[in-house]
Amino acid sequence: MTRPSSGPIPDHKVIAPVWGRAASVDVERGEGSWLIDRSGVRWLDYTSGIGVVNTGHAHPRVAAAIAEQAAKLLHGQQNIVFHEPGLRLHDRLSRILPGGPWGVFLSNSGAEAVEAAVKLARRATRRRNILVFRGGYHGRTAQTMALTTAKNVYRGHFEPLPGSVYSTAYPYCYRAPSGPRDPQKPGAGGSCAGCTCRWEEEWDLTLHTLVDAEDVAAVIIEPILGEGGYIVPPAGFLPRLRELTRQLGILLIADEVQTGFGRTGEMFAVQHSKVEPDILVMAKGIASGLPLSGIIARSELLASWAPGTHGGTYGGNVVACAAALATLDVIEQEQLVANAAARGAQMLAGLRAVAEGRRAIGDVRGIGLMLALEFVKPDEGDGRVPDADAVRRVIAEAASRRLLLLSAGSYGQVIRIIPPLVTTAAEVDQALEIIAASLDAAGMVRS
Ligand SMILES: Cc1ncc(COP(=O)(O)O)c(C=O)c1O
């Protein structure tokens, strides 16, 4: 019998063109940091499928947990039954953050979890407005497009968008108006004092001009800006934001979709500054590639949601929950959070060395295995004119050497480097060599 999935492999054209393409690998399988294509060629995947496969591709323990669960039950709908993987995962995630008490709600995608966070904040506070930070990315559904300001491609052409969303400035120290500033060298008191990015003045201005603080339900923030350019704020920023939101009765939603599950060298990025959000949004790394997302929220907030006011057919899918439990085991047992910190420090030092003397690289930054190079036209304007073309050329050169990288940034001027957290010291060295060779080949030689 001929199965419909046999015969010649269809042309790439069957995929809708809306899927922009960073590379064009006909992948067959993956292992650890590597993707292997149909011809057996190995690609070093420093995209992690956009920050998803923190445990590496097809980790045997995660794959085994999925197979075992799939043979027993594929769908145990949350409104109808209780299943063991779901109960265990809710319990485990409610204990993953310090503080609390915390409760958990599970859904399928990052955007869906952000929507849940916003709905919960509005319901719990009975306030309407949401504040976002410019450059932030929160998804592509209607509500999350309205929250997203990373790039106009994500929201342009789709007006009208849901309203009552107001934006303020993220501390982007490299692009501070009076010149680049190193966020690792904070001003007085370890805060942003002395920094010219003026995020706090902008926050204050927003609350004096666009919206009244007492009508704001929540502010949603990426602790490290992702799609917006892998921007690491100064150490004092989040604690100060937490202080301000507490004073004003505004909930703090940490969107940890890209930063979560060990990516930055802590289980969640808010833990670097010991800030306790009211709601934390998670997805991507949670289940090693199976569609699962959710929020961790203060229990009393979750209690304000009456049954039926939120939900979904697939939320907390039993196979995805089994994958998430195995993912958490692997992160713990293989000490992947510590590996992210160690390999991240190695990669950051290596990137700084590679960038030395190359004027097209304006900034090298990152934390854990969330790293970036920002490309500029050094001889134009004030020397920080964004250079998306340089990014495209370097990514293409790296791909021709079998290293997969992604871009980021509002102008596409950033290369982001997101290895699986299982990556080894030897792989990091290999990637650094390829990046150096790619910069040379793209004409960005040392001067
Ligand atoms: C910080 C952040 N929030 C939300 C999302 C949306 O997640 P999803 O693509 O799963 O809807 C993303 C996706 O990249 C993200 O990086």
The pLDDT value recorded for residue 179 is 66
For the cut 70, the answer to whether the pLDDT of residue 192 exceeds it is: no
For the cut 50, the answer to whether the pLDDT of residue 88 exceeds it is: yes
The pLDDT value recorded for residue 198 is 85
Q: Which two tokens stand for residue 361?
A: 């690289």
Residue 263 lies in a domain: yes
- In which band, very low, low, confident or very high, does the pLDDT at 225 lie, cut at 50, 70 and 90? very high
Same domain? For 86 and 117 the reply is yes
Same domain? For 321 and 342 the reply is no
Structural domain of residue 74, as residue ranges?
A: 63-333
The pTM score is 0.96
Tell me the CATH number at 138.
Answer: 3.40.640.10
**Residue at which a domain ends, from 302, 318, 333:** 333
Residue whose tokens read 């006011």: 309
Total domains, the chain: 2
Q: Which two tokens stand for residue 374?
A: 């920002």
Mutational pocket test of ligand 1: of 107, 109, 115, 138, the residue with most ligand atoms within 8 Å of the beta carbon: 138
| Whole-number percent of the chain with pLDDT over 70 | 95
Amino acid at 5: S
**pLDDT tens-digit map of 409-435:** 999 999 999 999 999 999 999 999 999
User: Residue 67: which residues within 8 A CB-CB, separation 6 or more?
Assistant: none
- Tell me the CA–centroid distance for residue 271 and ligand 1, in Å: 20
Q: Is 256 in the pocket of ligand 1 (CB under 6 A)?
A: no
284 CA closest ligand 1 atom index: 10
What is the average per-residue pLDDT within 240-250?
A: 97
Same domain? For 147 and 291 the reply is yes
For the cut 70, the answer to whether the pLDDT of residue 185 exceeds it is: no
Tell me the CATH number at 355.
Answer: 3.90.1150.10
- Give me the half-sphere count of Cα atoms (radius 13 Å) on the Cβ side of residue 102: 23
Q: Is the dihedral of CA 286, 290, 293, 296 positive or negative?
A: negative
Residue 447 lies in a domain: no
**Peptide bond before residue 101 is cis, with ω within 30 degrees of 0:** yes
The pLDDT value recorded for residue 190 is 42
139 CA closest ligand 1 atom index: 6
Residue 353 lies in a domain: yes
For the cut 80, the answer to whether the pLDDT of residue 3 exceeds it is: no
Report the distance separating Cα 385 and Cα 389, nearest Å.
Answer: 12
3-state secondary structure the chain: CCCCCCCCCCCHHHCCCCCCCCCCCCEEEEEECEEEECCCCEEEECCHHHHCCCCCECCHHHHHHHHHHHHHCCCCCCCCCCCHHHHHHHHHHCCCCCCCCEEEEEECCHHHHHHHHHHHHHHHHCCCEEEEECCCCCCCCHHHHHHCCCCHHHCCCCCCCCCCEEEECCCCHHHCCCCCCCCCCCCHHHCCCCCCCCHHHHHHHHHHHCCCHHHEEEEEECCCECCCCCECCCCCHHHHHHHHHHHHCCEEEEECCCCCCCCCCCCCHHHHCCCCCCEEEECHHHHECECCEEEEEEHHHHCCCCCCCCCCCCCCCHHHHHHHHHHHHHHHHCCHHHHHHHHHHHHHHHHHHHHCCCCCEEEEEEECCEEEEEEEECCCCCCCEECHHHHHHHHHHHHHCCEECEEECCCCCEEEECCCCCCCHHHHHHHHHHHHHHHHHCCCCCC
User: Residue 388: which residues within 8 A CB-CB, separation 6 or more?
Assistant: 375, 407, 409, 411, 412, 413
Residue 4 lies in a domain: no
- Tell me the CA–centroid distance for residue 356 and ligand 1, in Å: 32
Q: Which two tokens stand for residue 302?
A: 């979750």
The pLDDT value recorded for residue 182 is 61
Bridge partners, 371 (sequence order): 366, 417
Same domain? For 324 and 352 the reply is no
Same domain? For 207 and 272 the reply is yes
The pLDDT value recorded for residue 371 is 98
- In which band, very low, low, confident or very high, does the pLDDT at 4 lie, cut at 50, 70 and 90? low
Residue 6 lies in a domain: no
What is the average per-residue pLDDT within 399-409?
A: 98
- In which band, very low, low, confident or very high, does the pLDDT at 102 lie, cut at 50, 70 and 90? very high
The pLDDT value recorded for residue 188 is 42
Q: Is 137 in the pocket of ligand 1 (CB under 6 A)?
A: yes
Residue 404 lies in a domain: yes
Query: What is the b/e burial string over 151-175, where b = at least 16 CB atoms within 10 angstroms of the residue's CB?
Result: beebbeeeeeeeeebbbbbbbbbbb
**Residue at which a domain ends, from 333, 360, 390:** 333
- Tell me the CA–centroid distance for residue 183 and ligand 1, in Å: 25
Same domain? For 321 and 392 the reply is no
Residue 286 lies in a domain: yes
Same domain? For 197 and 322 the reply is yes
Residue 392 lies in a domain: yes
Mutational pocket test of ligand 1: of 148, 284, 418, the residue with most ligand atoms within 8 Å of the beta carbon: 284
What is the average per-residue pLDDT within 3-23?
A: 87
For the cut 90, the answer to whether the pLDDT of residue 193 exceeds it is: no
Same domain? For 180 and 136 the reply is yes
What is the average per-residue pLDDT within 230-248?
A: 95
* Backbone φ, ψ for residue 165 (5° rounding): -120, 130
For the cut 90, the answer to whether the pLDDT of residue 343 exceeds it is: yes
Q: Which two tokens stand for residue 127?
A: 């306030």
Q: Is 366 in the pocket of ligand 1 (CB under 6 A)?
A: no
Same domain? For 369 and 412 the reply is yes
The pLDDT value recorded for residue 26 is 96
What is the average per-residue pLDDT within 92-118?
A: 97
Same domain? For 313 and 406 the reply is no
Report the distance separating Cα 103 and Cα 89, nearest Å.
Answer: 11
Amino acid at 323: A
Same domain? For 315 and 187 the reply is yes
**pLDDT tens-digit map of 287-315:** 999 999 999 999 999 999 999 999 999 99
Instruction: Pick the residue whose CA is nearest to atom 16 on ligand 1.
Output: 258
**pLDDT tens-digit map of 124-158:** 999 999 999 999 999 999 999 999 999 999 999 99
- In which band, very low, low, confident or very high, does the pLDDT at 194 lie, cut at 50, 70 and 90? low
User: Residue 164: which residues within 8 A CB-CB, separation 6 or more?
Assistant: 128, 129, 130
**Residue at which a domain ends, from 298, 333, 368:** 333
* Among 57, 77, 58, 54, CA closest to 66: 58
Q: Which two tokens stand for residue 79?
A: 């409104």
Same domain? For 141 and 241 the reply is yes
Instruction: Pick the residue whose CA is nearest to atom 8 on ligand 1.
Output: 110
